[in-house]
Amino acid sequence: MSEFFHQYFDFTIMGDHFSEVLEGFFKNLLLFAVVVILALFWGLVLALIRQLPGKKFAPLRFLTIAYIDVLRAIPILIILLLISGGIPYLEFIPKDIRIPNWFGQPDPFWYSVLGLTMVYGAYMAEVYRAGIEAVPPGQAEAARSLGMSYGKAMRHVVVPQAVTKIPAPMLNEMISLLKDTTLASVVALSESVLVSREILAETFNSSAVILAGLMFLAITLPAARLVDVLIKRNQGKITRGAHIEVA
């Protein structure tokens, strides 16, 4: 048993390398923050395109659905490898774009941003769609009867209501995204997992990897409990609404 604790919970190694792993974890958090903003916007765009009415938008809806289905079906790891292993060699793209070094962040960071945004935009589009479809159709019909265009009805009436119905599933996606930022290690981004793996290779001890895991636990566990609270609150609203209807 002492060997087990020495291998996984050597506090000396954790203390010696704490700052290195923490610096890598900050990279995870930065990547998460950038991707969340972009994926929330991209997901909303996809969801709105998917809801466009009429036959003339059918091809656009088809392409959007295909994009969402494909990006949700392919492992993120493959997407990251395709981006990092292909874009740098596409010489028809300007070098500053295919090998970005924006805002002081290296190209692996931006390849990870692109890959995670593409995938999580697809996941969040489905969450938005569920929220939009949960809004009673009469709300949009009432807005249209008041003279609003389809776009204004969606922006001012449907989407604001839809957003209030999806905080729990959206937060779940964000928790998954935070954990998936560790996949950026495959494109050589020096985030917490890559840093801890290098320490493991040097020390033949897994304590640094455990340390990285504990840093994620410190954020994901409270977030998971928040999801539970939001779900219970939403169920309470549904129950109260049902009681009112019965009455």
- Which DSSP string corresponds to 128-192? HHHHHHHS-HHHHHHHHHTT--HHHHIIIIIHHHHHHT-HHHHHHHHHHHHHHGGGGGGGT---H
- Residues 123-177 have pLDDT tens digits of 999 999 999 988 888 877 788 787 888 788 888 888 888 888 888 889 999 999 9
**Which range, of 55-69, 74-88, 129-143, averages the lowest pLDDT?**
129-143
Q: Which pLDDT value is given to residue 155?
A: 86
Beta-carbon contacts of residue 21 (< 8 Å; ≥ 6 apart): 192, 195, 196, 199, 208, 211, 212, 215
Q: Which pLDDT value is given to residue 244?
A: 47
Number of domains in the chain: 1
Q: Tell me the CATH number at 234.
A: 1.10.3720.10
DSSP annotation of 93 reads: S
CA 119 to CA 180: how far, in whole Å? 11
Q: Which pLDDT value is given to residue 245?
A: 47
Structural domain including 236 reads: 2-246
pTM of the model: 0.90
Query: By CB neighbour count within 10 A (0-12 exposed, 13-18 middle, 19+ buried), where does 198 fall?
Result: middle
The size of the chain, in residues, is 247
Pair 200, 209: CB distance under 8 Å: yes
Q: Which pLDDT value is given to residue 26?
A: 97
Residue 52 has pLDDT above 60, yes or no: yes
Average pLDDT, the chain: 90
Residue 247 has pLDDT above 90, yes or no: no
Residue 88 has pLDDT above 70, yes or no: yes
Overall average pLDDT of the 196-204 stretch: 95
